[in-house]
Structure 1
């Protein structure tokens, strides 16, 4: 499984992990967040469950729009492997990476303000997912330019290490070998 699908399923798992307690036990979550003990209001329970459901929806939309779950029922037998990424994969990864980045910053601000380690754990998880999403946007969203003659990626350079194999082949062509 490549990094693209790891990011997609990691995002869905992380958001689902956060959504389940908000949906199943909103009173417990609200009680843990309050400094004084009092019953939870119906509005607090509504907002907790709504946020949990929106996190579940975001995780499902991430999986569907990135093409991790194919939306067509047709199956073709072709010798060429096709790119399984859906046309909305890059915008979806951009949106979820932005979400992870802003959430990491928000968790960091809470960690600095309160010093609680759970905020630091959340910050690391969000920052990790945001970094992998950024990596997918930069490197996994396009195919390399592969040379038909040499089989190497044309975007490669010799900096900081020289490509000795390519230099040897080039010298052989110059000498007529």
Structure 2
């Protein structure tokens, strides 16, 4: 399986929502170095032992600054990750059903934000006794398209700017 290139905005969002454990942070710092990002705190994070939780927690905010991160609020972080996953699902035609638990986790970690709730609670709409997987997929695609349309409208109004950091 090919790995995705390091994206500071994705890393920041995943870290804020605690989708990345402290023990995984040094590995992500190595990915950042390989992608061309550099700085003393990125290097420090990369050489830390994954078991050094306290030290990792101390270095993380400075590493995020070196990466040029925007300091997402949990809601913004969840919306960023949900939008990215939703776009990928539509662009690749991948089955959306395995992502439903991911969307739910984003809703949960963001404090049940209203904008994400239609994606995060999608399984609640399924009647598992009579609904076929095909109908469930169609409903999931419909909600994903609706979510992305709503996000585009919000961004056009200037409510939630997209984030992007590159070396």
What TM-score bracket applies, with the shorter chain setting the length? under 0.3
Larger Rg: 1
* Structure-2-length-normalised TM-score: 0.28
Higher RCO (C-alpha under 8 Å, 6+ residues apart): 2
